[in-house]
Amino acid sequence: MTDKKPELSAAMKNKVEPKVFKKNPIIGTKFTIAISSAKGGVGKSTFATNLALALKKIGCKVGLLDADIYGPSIPKMFGITEKPKSDGQKLEPIIKYDIQCMSIGFLADQQTPMIWRGPMVTSAIKTFTQKVNWKNLDFIIVDMPPGTGDTQLTFSQEIKMDGAIIVSTPQEIALLDVKRGIKMFDKLKVKIIGLVDNMSHFVGDDGKKYSIFGEGGVKKTANEFQKEFLGEIQIDPEVGKQSDLGSPIVESLPENNISKVYIEFAKK
């Protein structure tokens, strides 16, 4: 005998279980940190590469995972042209400047555009997180693509992420995307470590400070969303130049003031 109404028990039988995502930690690392912004061209990859190098300089074992499938930057910024080896099961990361690196750009011709559908991107991300022989790392720094799409979702829902750092310029148009990015991570319950104001200002030869993209916008956004403001990095043409040469500034010019700023971020 049952006192349940038939329509209720039928509904219970067909009850849709909320989808529980199994979060796999990346094997071979202690912490996974994403560098994100939702906006393109604000300096995510520059920050990710220099942060990775700065963490190495303070004694950590670091991996760098280029999750930008459509626009990989790590091969160029790290000056890597070789292809990763595979034993048929796992890919070996390429080691440069003592950092274990993986990028879709190692596997494809640099100038060939990736014309892939979402599920293929998701499967590439799964390969990079589960089928790369990352070895004894303290941190994997993940260089995220712009947007709030498949890559961000895959990382947030299926991979154990320890936190995200959001990089932005102080410009309104960038901050609009940043706000979307913050809301996405909050919704997906990924801890936001803090916000970085990149290309905050430029100091001219006259010693004057020029706020090219506006002033204080990133800090204001951090306060608005009750997130930590981690600090600012000014515009220095040397930053871009060294990345273009395949050796980011923290590696090539460690005594430069900007390199010291990155090292302070790493310590934080």
Ligand X SMILES: Nc1ncnc2c1ncn2[C@@H]1O[C@H](COP(=O)(O)OP(=O)(O)O)[C@@H](O)[C@H]1O
Binding site for ligand X (CB under 6 A): 37, 40-46, 73, 198-199, 233, 235-236, 239-240, 243
Least distance CB 138 / Mg ion (angstroms): 23
> CA 4 from chain center: how many Å?
51
> Residue 150 or 177: which CB sits closer to ligand X?
177
Find where tokens 């274990």 sit.
100
Q: Which does 165 bind (CB under 5 to 8 A by kind): ligand X, Mg ion, none?
A: none
Structure tokens at 202: 């430029």
Q: Among Mg ion, ligand X, none, what does residue 75 contact (CB within 5–8 Å per kind)?
A: none
Q: How far apart are the C-alpha atoms of 227 and 222, rounded to whole Å? A: 5
**Which one among 29, 32, 37, 73 touches Mg ion, defined by CB under 5 A?**
73
Distance in Å, CB of 73 to Mg ion, minimum: 5
Which listed option, ligand X, Mg ion, none, makes contact with residue 236 (CB within 5 to 8 Å by class)? ligand X
Scanning 27-35, 67-75, 116-124, 214-222 for contacts with Mg ion by CB under 5 A, the matching segment is 67-75
Closest CB to Mg ion among 133 and 171? 171
| Structure token digits, residue 148 | 């709030």
If one counts every other C-beta atom within 10 angstroms of the C-beta of residue 136, the result is 10
DSSP 3-state of 229: strand
C-alpha 208: how far from chain center: 32
Pairing of strands 99-102, 94-96: antiparallel
State in angstroms the smallest separation of the CB of 46 from ligand X.
3
Closest CA to 265 of 166, 183, 182: 166
Q: How far is the CB of 96 from Mg ion (least distance, A)?
A: 17
Residues 6-65 contacting Mg ion, CB under 5 A: 44-45
Strands 62-66 and 137-143: parallel
Smallest CA-to-CA distance from 114 within 122, 105, 125 is with 105
Kindly tell me which of 44 and 227 has the beta carbon lying closer to ligand X.
44
Q: Site residues for Mg ion, window 75-104 (CB under 5 A)?
A: none
Q: How far is the CB of 9 from Mg ion (least distance, A)?
A: 53
Would you say 25 or 71 has its CB closer to ligand X? 71
CB of 233 to Mg ion, least distance (A): 15
Q: Which residue is nearest to Mg ion (CB)?
A: 45
Q: Which is nearer to Mg ion, 73 or 100 (CB)?
A: 73
Closest CB to Mg ion among residues 151, 156: 151
55/74 with CB nearer ligand X: 74
Give Cβ neighbours of residue 15 (< 8 Å, ≥ 6 apart).
none
Question: What are the E-state strand segments in 174-257?
Answer: 192-198, 202-203, 209-210, 229-233
| Residue 233: CB minimum distance to ligand X, A | 5
What is the C-alpha to C-alpha distance for residues 93 and 128, in angstroms, rounded to an integer? 9
List of residues 6+ apart from 119 with CB closer than 8 A:
none
- Provide the binding-site residues for Mg ion, judged by CB under 5 A: 44-45, 73
